[in-house]
């Protein structure tokens, strides 16, 4: 083994994982870190997490310990920043009397218990939009499209629009989404059915871009609709 510094050299230890920087690679300590991460994602306080760990030390590394700062930094500042923005957005929508529907993604542990809940999609509209929609898109047409790069979270904005009898464009509803999956469109259409078309006819014509997942979802959930594709 090559020695680079004669002054600070020492004998090679039997277990290299005994160094603090490598302890996390030990199986029992790795299990302990996963448990603590679960506690942090569940928003337990530092003291509460310590008590949980004390009750299960027999299955984990007896010497494992995280300082308070290390514990709270297990979730990155970027994640906390995103949570703050979404919380403030939902509070603003609630104060403005918007109708809001949310789709979540749940992270499960080995026991199939939820340890984290992430927002995947936010559907929203207000009562004024709903009244205009029942008047001008029911049994008629609407146009749906996605807008990119408009917020710090990099969430897509899904928007549906139409024209009133004064040739002015109005927005029917909005939806912030993480990405364009088929589940995204299914949830969007489901919300439209339950919030817009629950007591009136749905649109007969929908103008959409050439998104395969959107057209597939529409063809399944809105069988009588006629799709018109645009670039």
Same domain, 189 and 158: yes
Same domain, 187 and 157: yes
Same domain, 211 and 100: yes
Asked if 172 and 196 touch (Cβ cutoff 8 Å), the reply is yes
Confidence (pLDDT) at 165: 78
Whether the predicted model's global pTM rises above the 0.85 cut: no
Confidence (pLDDT) at 99: 93
Query: Is residue 83 situated within a structural domain?
Result: no
pLDDT tops 90 at residue 122:
yes
Taking only the tens place, the pLDDT of each residue in 135-147 is 888 888 888 887 7
Name the domain count of the chain.
Answer: 2
Confidence (pLDDT) at 231: 64
Same domain, 157 and 52: no
- Hey, what are 228's tokens? 């018109």
- Strand order, beta sheet including 156-163: 99-108, 114-125, 169-177, 156-163, 141-147, 205-208, 226-229
Same domain, 62 and 117: no
pLDDT, greater one: 218 or 204: 204
Query: Is residue 170 situated within a structural domain?
Result: yes
Confidence (pLDDT) at 142: 87
Query: Is residue 81 situated within a structural domain?
Result: no
Same domain, 59 and 149: no
What percentage of residues in the chain have a pLDDT greater than 90? 13
Q: Mean pLDDT, to the nearest integer, of 183-188?
A: 88
Q: Return the SS3 of 229.
A: strand
Domain span at residue 154?
92-229
The C-alpha angle 171, 173, 178, rounded to 5 degrees, equals 120
pLDDT tops 90 at residue 118:
no
Same domain, 70 and 168: no
Same domain, 100 and 68: no
Query: Is residue 10 situated within a structural domain?
Result: no
Same domain, 131 and 158: yes
pLDDT, greater one: 219 or 203: 203
What percentage of residues in the chain have a pLDDT greater than 70? 78
Q: Of 5-14, 135-144, 211-220, which one has max mean pLDDT?
A: 135-144
pLDDT tops 70 at residue 5:
no
Same domain, 66 and 126: no
Same domain, 107 and 219: yes
Q: Which long-range contacts (CB under 8 A, 24 or more apart) does 185-190 make?
A: 185/213, 185/214, 185/217, 185/218, 186/217, 186/221, 187/101, 187/103, 187/121, 187/123, 188/121, 188/123, 188/158, 189/217, 189/218, 189/221, 189/222, 190/221
pLDDT tops 70 at residue 214:
yes
Whole-angstrom CA distances from 8 to 5, 22, 95, 102 are: 6, 19, 64, 58
pLDDT band at 166 (very low <50, low <70, confident <90, very high): confident
Confidence (pLDDT) at 10: 60
Query: Is residue 200 situated within a structural domain?
Result: yes
Confidence (pLDDT) at 96: 93
pLDDT tops 60 at residue 173:
yes
To which residue do tokens 């906390």 refer?
A: 80
């Amino acid at each position: 083994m090559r020695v680079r510094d004669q002054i600070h050299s020492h004998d090679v230890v039997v277990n290299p994982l005994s160094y603090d920087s490598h302890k996390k690679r030990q199986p029992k300590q790795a299990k302990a870190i996963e448990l603590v991460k679960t506690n942090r994602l569940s928003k337990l306080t530092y003291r509460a997490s310590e008590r949980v760990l004390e009750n299960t030390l027999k299955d984990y590394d007896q010497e494992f310990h995280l300082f308070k700062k290390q514990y709270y930094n297990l979730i990155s500042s970027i994640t906390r920043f995103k949570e703050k923005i979404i919380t403030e957005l939902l509070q603003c929508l609630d104060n403005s009397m918007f109708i809001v529907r949310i789709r979540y993604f749940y992270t499960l542990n080995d026991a199939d218990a939820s340890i984290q809940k992430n927002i995947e999609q936010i559907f929203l509209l207000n009562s004024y939009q709903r009244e205009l929609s029942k008047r001008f898109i029911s049994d008629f047409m609407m146009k749906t499209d996605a807008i990119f790069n408009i917020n710090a979270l990099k969430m897509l904005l899904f928007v549906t629009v139409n024209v009133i009898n004064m040739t002015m464009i109005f927005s029917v509803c909005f939806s912030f989404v993480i990405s364009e999956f088929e589940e995204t469109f299914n949830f969007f259409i489901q919300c439209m059915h339950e919030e817009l078309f629950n007591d009136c006819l749905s649109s007969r014509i929908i103008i959409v871009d050439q998104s395969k997942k959107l057209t597939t979802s529409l063809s399944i959930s809105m069988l009588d609709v006629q799709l018109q594709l645009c670039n």
